[in-house]
Structure 1
């Protein structure tokens, strides 16, 4: 039996208004023109793919050109399918507590849940064997990072809190129901939570795998560059591979009048910082156009000029942002953290977990079994990555070498 080639997944993210949807749509148009079965999927609540393609687009894949399909995910429908049972239980509890029904409805909706659950649609498509390429037009940066971090956070809850909670609820259900009149969650509620976790875990595995990557779209502005740098750091922290940066809406330098010449100079200064900030990554530039590209052909031309002969769907090269190397004394865990200094990283060990904090983001890394039995001997931030040294546990009575277990 012939092996099925894995689907190539490319996610586009960036600050709102940088042209992310246009670039994602153009990349998909180039893919389809090459004969690849291509789906471009929008998980952004403020859909704009229909505007980019100049064609009606629905909540199911809509063909806009040969091999090219577009879908603007109906996040509300997906939310109802995946969250309805859990929400129903929460509403019943709030009803007993006397909470106003309208307020209760608001309280049982997790902020950002619709965008997160839209990724479940990506999972279904990736497993369907209907597509060679899936291009994802993500929500603006902050929502994307929250969206991509959720599966791992929910995994921690499911592995540690959920089993205990399930046992306690089973034991206390008869007592609490009679004493307080509070409805206890039934097995179907727990089943719904477990199913949601399993599906999101599959999403994470897909998006952090070797055939998926994230592409950051930005405009050459100082504020936008700062956010792009933060995105690169945070995406790396959570184990997602960034395979390129797109500088969009660059003013052409030729024949510029005095007004445009000022913009060209300002953009050139930022673009120099872009080259320095993302050294080692492909950096593609797209010139500002006199008219916004609309329609499949305009989008395809934009992408062909942008990638300038390079394959926009080439598999990511090199190692991912998370790896482990062996040493004669133990092992070293490497986690890519570009633009981060030693002082900005918090590190703690909790059983078989390593807790890494960078700014407002925290990642709970479940250590591979080969590392979990070792002790942390030290850590440092060097060459854009966090390096945590592990060594064999000390034998009884062995003195701890000076500085062991401290951040270097």
Structure 2
């Protein structure tokens, strides 16, 4: 399993340059590194001095780079889908649709990139995957996909099973699906083996994103007031998808006392401007990414005191909304919404109180 590292920051702060520098440093340390770019602009290729494609190519010892192309990734994924369909369904209906015909719909880019990263990680060919996303919002939504998809499956399956329609169909689901498909389905286990495998995949994705030793982000900012404000907002948004932010990299301008205080308790590092092809000063100034596990965790659950604490820096209490419509608790902060899947001891209990204190939302049950 690889460490997946990404960078968040306002456009123009040098995220791509920092991503390349991080990849180069890991490779110099002897790690097997894949640098993956999502933005189709030529910036990454120009900085690396070579034209990238949708297949990894060597850049330096221990370092390969790939440029994700959504149309190519969709074509490859479609072929995998048709193989699965042929395995589980007696009369496949996707076989007459070809991946080369398909266009990219909104949101597909993120899903395809996440799947590509998952496959590179599962191949065990890399120790580190450095991901340079197209935009901060898309990167956060991409990494939040396992959590959100799990919620959709969990809630809609439960709602269907408890509905009058679900109860009416229940006696017929098993014999009908057994006759039509090669798997046995029931209301209690909608989807059979394919659904089980999908749920396991999503669970592994959620566990990886919540583990700072597996997936971590660093904020990239400058001394500019808007860049700092954007990074603070992204810090809180990252917490909403369960992603740990390990630190802050101040690019192009020295770290001031005010900036360090705003990002406390995160460590803030300063990196110098790159001069031509000399990357070494920049590599030397990068933080120790292995210490990211010491950063504040996005969520802490204390069953003994019946409390859940969510760390939401960059927001104030007016920007945070807490609701409890179903068996789970929903937190809205900024443009992010997160459903908290509570442990069995707290599940179903009503919220007794909530307070916003020291950048954290503390919920009592």
TM range (shorter): 0.7 to 0.9
Q: Which of the numbers 341, 345, 355 marks the counterpart of 1:380?
A: 355
Q: Post-superposition shift, 1:156?
A: 1.7
1:9–1:213: 8 Å Cα contact kept in structure 2? yes
User: In the alignment, does 2:259 pair up with 1:286?
Assistant: no
Secondary structure at the residue paired with 2:144? helix
Q: 2 CA distance for matches of 1:388 and 1:154?
A: 24
Equivalent residue pairs, number: 327
| Per-residue deviation, residues 247-281 of structure 1 (Å, max 9, x unmatched) | 1122x8xxxxxxxxxxxxxxx7xx44421210111
1:120–1:199: 8 Å Cα contact kept in structure 2? no
CA distance 1:290–1:61, shift in 2 (3 Å): closer
Identify unmatched segments of 5+ residues in structure 2: 83-92, 94-100, 170-180, 184-190
CA distance 1:319–1:289, shift in 2 (3 Å): closer
1:120–1:203: 8 Å Cα contact kept in structure 2? no
Q: 2 CA distance for matches of 1:194 and 1:16?
A: 40
Q: Post-superposition shift, 1:219?
A: 2.4
TM-score, normalized by length of structure 2?
Answer: 0.78
Q: Which of the numbers 303, 317, 329 marks the counterpart of 2:283?
A: 303
Secondary structure at the residue paired with 2:51? coil
1:43–1:119: 8 Å Cα contact kept in structure 2? no
Q: 2 CA distance for matches of 1:132 and 1:226?
A: 33
1:317 matched residue in structure 2: 294
1:13–1:139: 8 Å Cα contact kept in structure 2? no
User: In the alignment, does 2:277 pair up with 1:275?
Assistant: no
1:25–1:299: 8 Å Cα contact kept in structure 2? no
Q: Post-superposition shift, 1:43?
A: 2.8
User: In the alignment, does 2:110 pair up with 1:135?
Assistant: no
1:204 matched residue in structure 2: 206
Matches within 5 A, 1:4-403: 6-46=1-41, 48-82=43-77, 109-161=104-156, 199=201, 201-211=203-213, 212-250=215-253, 271-291=256-276, 293=277, 298-304=278-284, 306-307=285-286, 310-318=287-295, 320-327=297-304, 330-390=305-365
Q: Post-superposition shift, 1:300?
A: 4.2
Identify unmatched segments of 5+ residues in structure 1: 1-5, 87-91, 93-103, 172-185, 253-267, 391-408
Q: Post-superposition shift, 1:15?
A: 2.1
Larger radius of gyration between Structure 1 and Structure 2 = 1
CA distance 1:151–1:337, shift in 2 (3 Å): same
1:45–1:115: 8 Å Cα contact kept in structure 2? no
CA distance 1:322–1:83, shift in 2 (3 Å): farther
Q: Post-superposition shift, 1:160?
A: 2.4
2:330–2:338: 8 Å Cα contact kept in structure 1? yes
